[in-house]
Amino acid sequence: MSWTDDRVDVLKKMWGEGQSASQIAKELGGVTRNAVIGKVHRLGLSNRAGSGGASKPAAPKADAKPKAPAKPKAAPPKANELVEIQEPRTESASPPPQPKVPHARRQIIPAGQPLPPQPSANEISPEALRKVNEVEKTAKKISLMELTEKTCKWPVGDPATEQFWFCGLDVKQGKPYCEAHVGVAFQPMSSRRDRRR
């Protein structure tokens, strides 16, 4: 495969959108992410700015924020616009939505066997715990059979009841759990030491 004009076009577009080199490579096909990165450099748009020209050495402030949406597809209508703040609580006093699942986390753990890591008296960062609780709401709640090498295997609930499922979110690479659950699963472990090759 060679860098035809339109392929370079796709490259530029995607790179501009903040797509990763590997994603671009996948999209294009026939090239590796290395090829993409190499090309990106040769095109001189290594710095996710490219547009405009004015290649500035960039400010020393290397502050990369999580990419801005940047969807200049449609020109934003400007001028006289009234920002109307919709007061969420008008006359429509709809009953409080209760997607609340009969979860209810008891203090006592029924199981008698190798229940999962389940945080005990351990001191886990409140941040991590907060995150987990949040994750449990958005969890995919998959079943045992649906577990794969890439799904969080963090169990929720009591296996003896119907309210039992596995998190199922994307794992945190290598780990058996998603990011949040890895957090409470094993915080310890000495920090990774310098990995020399």
Q: Which amino acid is at 2?
A: S
The closest alpha carbon to 137, from 183, 181, 99, belongs to 99
Tell me how far, at minimum, the Cβ of 41 lies from DNA, in Å: 5
Tell me how far, at minimum, the Cβ of 141 lies from DNA, in Å: 24
Binding test (CB under 7 A) with DNA, winner from 9, 32, 134, 143:
32
Decide: 106 and 157 in contact? Cβ < 8 Å: no
**99 or 174: CB nearest DNA:** 174
Chain centroid to Cα 6, Å, comes to 30
The pair phi, psi for residue 141, each rounded to 5°, is 50, 65
Question: With CB under 7 A, what is the number of residues at the site for DNA?
Answer: 25
Decide: 142 and 165 in contact? Cβ < 8 Å: yes
Q: Does 34 contact DNA by CB under 7 A? A: yes
**35 or 129: CB nearest DNA:** 35
Q: Does 12 contact DNA by CB under 7 A? A: no
Q: DSSP readout, 115-184? A: ------SS---HHHHHHHHHHHHH---B-GGG--TTB---EEE-TTSSSEEE--SBB-TTSSSBHHHHHH
Binding map of DNA across residues 138-177, x = CB under 7 A, - = no contact: -----------------------------------xx---
Q: Does 1 contact DNA by CB under 7 A? A: yes
Tell me how far, at minimum, the Cβ of 132 lies from DNA, in Å: 21
**Residue numbers at the binding site for DNA (CB under 7 A):** 1-3, 19-23, 31-35, 37-42, 46-47, 173-174, 195, 197
